[in-house]
Amino acid sequence: MQATSQQQLASAVILFQLGSSPLFLLAGPAKGDAWIAVFVGMLAGAVLLLTATLQIYRKEPNLSLIELLPKYFGRVLGTAIALAYIFYFTYKSVRNVREFGDLLNAFLLPNTPLVFLLFMVVLLSAYAVYHGADVFFRLTELVLPWIVFFYALVICFVLLTNLVHLENMEPVLERGLKPVVAAALPELISFPFGEMVLFLMFWRMTDSVSRTFRTTIMAFLFAGLFLVIANALILSVLGKMSFFTVIPLLQMTNLINVGGIVERLDPIILLLLFTGVYLKQTAYFLGAVLALSQLSGSKWRRCIPPIGILIFAGALAFRSYMEQVRIGFKLNLNYHFPIFQIVIPYLILAVILIRSFKSRRAEN
Amino acid sequence: MRWFGQLLPFFRSSGRSQQGRRKAQHSSSGAGQGPARSADLNAALSRSLKKNLADVRRLLGDSADLTVREIGGSEGDSVAAVLYLESIVDSELVNRYVMTPLMEWTVGKLTGDRIAHVRENLPVGRLQELNKMGDLVTYLLNGYSIILTDGVAATFAAATTGGERRSVEEPSSQTVTRGPKESFTESILTNMTLLRRRIKSPDLRVESFTIGRKTGTFVNLLYLEGITLPAAVKEIRDRLAKIDVDSILDSGYIEEFIQEETWTLFPTIQNTERPDAVAAGLLEGQAAIIVDGSPFALLAPSSFVKFFQSSEDYYSRYDIASFLRIIRYISFLVSILLPSLYIAITTFHQEMLPTPLLISLASQREGVPFPALVEALLMELTFEVLREAGVRMPRVVGPAISIVGALVLGQAAVQAGLVSAAMIIVVSFTAIANFVIPTTNMSAAARLIRFFMMILGGTLGLFGIMSGLMVLLIHLVSLKSFGIPYMTPLAPFIWNNMKDVLVRVPWPIMKKRPMVSGQHNATRQADSMRVPSGSDRKREGGDR
């Protein structure tokens, strides 16, 4: 397997961060200041990345998350936490698969049974996972320029159609910074800015620790700023409408009309969104498969069917899109995901630091 | 082929050697004796001329074109003999440079070391001393003249290869309006000539293989020392040496035996009949394989973008070349996607179309008895039939096909209400777009993928097409050609190589060799060869 190049890592981080995020209006509770909340969330995510996730990688650049857990927490506890992470990765993939399927059903293929669509979506991911991590990273590298190009095109069209009404965003910080921060934390860390914990599975495939460190941060900030801009754009175009629509981005692009020629871009936007969701769900799928194979010691391709079936079954288990969104945004983001994204990483880092401190003292 | 080799251990022979030809092989020897057996072929030559001659005759089954000319002494008691196969030697050469000297020496009167005498005095460039029956037969079958003398258990083979060959003509499949107009022929020697004339560098390495137990085909592996990646050369060499089959009749055989991935629609090895394209490939770090009997040379390792480059891109101006390059990529996409998009949009996503267009399409389709998918599949298959007919039919009936194809199937089908006019437009444009792709094997891939896409688009709409594209992309990035990722330089992305991908920048800017060679001996131009900037020109003007 070839080492993952820095460009590949950067494209993977960017696409992973974008992922399904443009589907939602992030930090909706902050109302007109949502874009500031996204910015705050991004900063918080960057701090988390810098002080926890990347630090763990720096201390143990050659171990994946699953491999370092038993080392620092002992076999029983370490394996238990590793299993929890496998479950977490799988569950994250499940959420994306379900989103994918539901959106397909709602917007493109209303008459096709959801089961079939979910099956196709999981199969599509499994095909990418089957080819391994280096192929997945090359895929992101190949896809990224197109995604960036199309998003840039959409933004151009929005500006050309003269849709932007900056007054929609005024007054800025009407009720002070407090509700903004409250909207940002911890929800926005959980989704999407804290999800970088997955890359503890991938970073060790890169060639240089220091460059990986820099690339990750730069790519993370790029994706974050894009989300801030997208958020601001949606707010300025849709105003109060943005809080009530299912997919605000789609609502916005619906309004695009450049000279009567460029209009009805919805399917293209949808495909753009799907690509993002697809890549994200595949990244989690891949992470879960690698984690399971490292934990169980079996060949990683053997781990694809069990994880795939788990994802498929999990995606079917939600009763509706609304239930899925409610569980995700009300419960998971506040209570469950922070454990994996914030608590455990800091715990790992603390144990690593204490261990190295102890061993250094023992040497002296 | 492994099991076959194990069944017949004596048929296994050394993989690669510069001169050593494959030994156990060759045509049947008649008279009910069955094929030549390895015991006979491995036997050393006898000291008796008579026995040697009898053995050769027996091994070749008294072939009608085997000519044996005995010299000196009376019939049946001669001291020397010249053997050759009439059909594949140049009899002028044999008569003048082998027969004449031998006759003049009156070999019979020679005393002492006859072998040494022949070696020193026969005016032939390639002279090979042999002492095994098998080698003798091999050389004989390759157009050499064999000189046997009585009382010596050794023999000479003199290169007198000849026979009819096609002359160098204009390329028929990869034509250019500007650029060299020579193309390869079936003769490996002619092809080598064409290449050596283009690359006059001592670094051009040629390795010879003989592949095919029955055909004994010569295969040359060419590369530039110091430019081609040694790892890639080694890989190709190993894979060539592993080939163990009966016959190699064209480079297409070799391609399928050495390619990395068999189960793919995409070609991972280029083929070309243009010597200049091969030279360019060599200079960009590819290795070339030329096969005797095939006017198509292979180039490997290769990448996806290579199949969209035509030789002419480099001979015509960069601006038009870049424009055409982009047209080709778009045509490739059109050729894969247009029918499926048409099906998907008219079946599932009518809201995407402007209302007037939608109404027009709907009115055209009124009365068409099939769903769009069936209609499109029918028309595409019809076109493929027409195309195949156009390739296979005798040239004289050409006009008939075009009349039937264009008028009957096109116009009449619409008038009869079997298909809609829009569908005819879509299918024809797709077909034309397919012809834009400069390499036939890549356009073949596009033709096949199109059908999968149409089925996906007809069943799952845009989502199906997107899934298909995603699978295609994953497949493409997972492919490799001799260790080089197929999508280089797009993924892994190499900025410097992008100068020759979507566009072709002016020559002075392409300082580095693209792609395959990577960092290996990358610079190909002197520093002074840069594009003069405005200030440079001003300074030159001032100097004058």
ipTM: 0.93
> Do B150 and B193 share a domain, yes or no?
no
Confidence of residue B410 (pLDDT cuts 50, 70, 90): confident
Angle (CA) B191-B196-B200 rounded to 5° is 165
Confidence of residue B535 (pLDDT cuts 50, 70, 90): low
**Are the Cβ atoms of A108 and B474 closer than 8 angstroms?**
no
pLDDT of residue B375: 92
CA B537, CA B165: separation in Å to the nearest integer?
53
Distance from CA of B263 to the nearest CA of A (A): 14
**B537 within some domain:** no
Q: pLDDT per residue over B446-472, tens digit each?
A: 999 999 999 999 999 999 999 999 999
B460 touches chain A (CB under 8 A): yes
> Do B292 and B323 share a domain, yes or no?
no
> Do B276 and B327 share a domain, yes or no?
no
**B428 within some domain:** yes
**Helices B251-258, B230-242: inter-axial angle, 10-degree rounding:** 110
pLDDT of residue B204: 94
**Are the Cβ atoms of A124 and B470 closer than 8 angstroms?**
yes
**Are the Cβ atoms of A142 and B348 closer than 8 angstroms?**
no
> Do B476 and B336 share a domain, yes or no?
yes
Max CA separation in chain A (angstroms): 77
pLDDT of residue B32: 43
Distance from CA of B494 to the nearest CA of A (A): 9
Name the pTM for this structure: 0.89
> Do B206 and B285 share a domain, yes or no?
yes
B493 touches chain A (CB under 8 A): yes
Distance from CA of A104 to the nearest CA of B (A): 8
Tell me which amino acid residue B455 is.
I
pLDDT along chain A (364 residues), means of 10: 82 92 81 88 93 92 90 92 94 92 88 93 95 93 92 90 83 81 82 90 90 94 93 88 84 84 79 91 96 92 95 91 80 84 92 90 82
**B540 within some domain:** no
> Do B340 and B276 share a domain, yes or no?
no
- Using an 8 Å CB-CB cutoff, list chain A residues near B476: 142
Which residue of A lies nearest to B483 if distances are taken between CA atoms? A2
CA B210, CA B233: separation in Å to the nearest integer?
17
Residue B66 burial (C-beta neighbours within 10 Å; 0-12, 13-18, 19+) = middle
pLDDT of residue B107: 55
pLDDT of residue B335: 96
- Is A190 within 8 Å of A333 (Cβ atoms)? yes
Domain boundary among B274, B302, B330: B302
Q: Who contacts A328 (Cβ-Cβ below 8 Å, separation ≥6)?
A: A95, A191
**B362 within some domain:** yes
**Are the Cβ atoms of A267 and B349 closer than 8 angstroms?**
yes
Q: pLDDT per residue over B145-182, tens digit each?
A: 998 888 888 888 888 888 788 899 999 888 888 999 99
Domain boundary among B451, B485, B519: B485
> Do B364 and B235 share a domain, yes or no?
no
Number of helical H runs and strand E runs in chain B? 20, 12
Task: With a cut of 90, say whether residue B488 has pLDDT above it.
Answer: no
> Do B401 and B357 share a domain, yes or no?
yes
Distance from CA of A75 to the nearest CA of B (A): 36
| Residues 333-352, chain B, touching A (beta carbon < 8 A) | 348-349, 351-352
pLDDT of residue B534: 55
Residues of A with CB under 8 A from a CB of B: 2, 5, 7-8, 104, 108-109, 112, 117, 120, 124, 127-128, 131-132, 135, 138-139, 141-143, 264, 266-267, 270-271, 274-275, 278
Q: Which DSSP symbol is given to B480?
A: E
**Are the Cβ atoms of B477 and A142 closer than 8 angstroms?**
yes
**Are the Cβ atoms of A274 and B485 closer than 8 angstroms?**
no
**Are the Cβ atoms of B352 and A5 closer than 8 angstroms?**
no
- Using an 8 Å CB-CB cutoff, list chain B residues near A139: 473-474, 477, 491
**B337 within some domain:** yes
> Do B264 and B329 share a domain, yes or no?
no
**Are the Cβ atoms of A142 and B487 closer than 8 angstroms?**
yes
How many distinct structural domains can be found in chain B?
Answer: 3
Which of B462, B463, B471 best probes binding to A when mutated, by most A CB atoms within 10 angstroms?
B463
Instruction: Name B300's bridge partners.
Output: B287
> CB neighbours (10 Å) of residue B285?
24
CA-wise closest residue to A95 among A329, A334, A335: A329
Question: What DSSP element (H or E) covers B141?
Answer: helix B133-141
Q: pLDDT per residue over B204-247, tens digit each?
A: 999 999 999 999 999 999 999 888 888 889 999 999 999 999 99
Distance from CA of A126 to the nearest CA of B (A): 11
- Using an 8 Å CB-CB cutoff, list chain A residues near B473: 139, 142-143
SS in 3 state form for B193-214? Answer: HHHHHHCCCCCEEEEEEEECCC
- Is A217 within 8 Å of A42 (Cβ atoms)? no
Residue B419 burial (C-beta neighbours within 10 Å; 0-12, 13-18, 19+) = buried
Distance from CA of B25 to the nearest CA of A (A): 41
**Are the Cβ atoms of B467 and A120 closer than 8 angstroms?**
yes
Which of A139, A250, A258, A278 best probes binding to B when mutated, by most B CB atoms within 10 angstroms?
A139
- Using an 8 Å CB-CB cutoff, list chain B residues near A267: 349, 352, 462
pLDDT of residue A161: 86
Please state, for a pLDDT cut of 90, what percent of chain B lies above it: 45
Residue A246 burial (C-beta neighbours within 10 Å; 0-12, 13-18, 19+) = middle
A339-344: long-range pairs with CB below 8 Å, 24+: A340/A84, A340/A85, A340/A88, A340/A197, A341/A48, A341/A189, A341/A190, A341/A194, A341/A195, A341/A197, A342/A48, A342/A52, A342/A186, A342/A189, A342/A194, A344/A81, A344/A85
- Using an 8 Å CB-CB cutoff, list chain B residues near A250: none
Instruction: Name B144's bridge partners.
Output: B159
> Do B152 and B214 share a domain, yes or no?
no
**B128 within some domain:** yes
B478 touches chain A (CB under 8 A): yes
Distance from CA of B516 to the nearest CA of A (A): 16
Task: With a cut of 50, say whether residue B30 has pLDDT above it.
Answer: no
Task: With a cut of 60, say whether residue B333 has pLDDT above it.
Answer: yes
B357 touches chain A (CB under 8 A): no
Which residue of B lies nearest to A261 if distances are taken between CA atoms? B354
Domain boundary among B485, B508, B533: B485
Q: pLDDT per residue over B93-143, tens digit each?
A: 888 888 888 887 765 555 567 777 777 778 888 888 888 888 899 899 988
CA B451, CA B380: separation in Å to the nearest integer?
8
Confidence of residue B34 (pLDDT cuts 50, 70, 90): low
**Are the Cβ atoms of A271 and B460 closer than 8 angstroms?**
no
User: Which residue matches tokens 């080492």?
Assistant: A3
pLDDT of residue B8: 35
> Do B194 and B263 share a domain, yes or no?
yes
pLDDT of residue A87: 94
**B28 within some domain:** no
CA-wise closest residue to A30 among A41, A20, A19: A41
Q: What mean pLDDT is predicted for residues B264-290?
A: 94
Q: Where are the alpha helices (DSSP H) in chain A?
A: 6-18, 34-48, 54-59, 65-73, 75-103, 114-130, 133-160, 177-184, 187-188, 209-238, 248-254, 266-296, 304-317, 321-326, 337-338, 344-363
CA A124, CA B456: separation in Å to the nearest integer?
13
Residue among A120, A138, A278 minimizing CB distance to B485: A138
Residue A320: φ, ψ to 5°:
-155, 170
Please state, for a pLDDT cut of 70, what percent of chain B lies above it: 86
CA B137, CA B142: separation in Å to the nearest integer?
9
Which residue range forms the structural domain that includes residue B108? 49-159
Backbone conformation region of residue B465, classed left if phi is above 0, alpha if psi is from -120 to 50, else beta: alpha
What are the tokens at B23?
């030994």
B8-12, B172-176, B253-257, B537-541: lowest mean pLDDT where? B8-12
- Using an 8 Å CB-CB cutoff, list chain B residues near A141: 490-493
Q: What mean pLDDT is predicted for residues B277-283?
A: 93
> CB neighbours (10 Å) of residue B13?
18
**B418 within some domain:** yes
Residue B216: φ, ψ to 5°:
50, 50
Q: What mean pLDDT is predicted for residues B403-429?
A: 85
> Do B295 and B353 share a domain, yes or no?
no
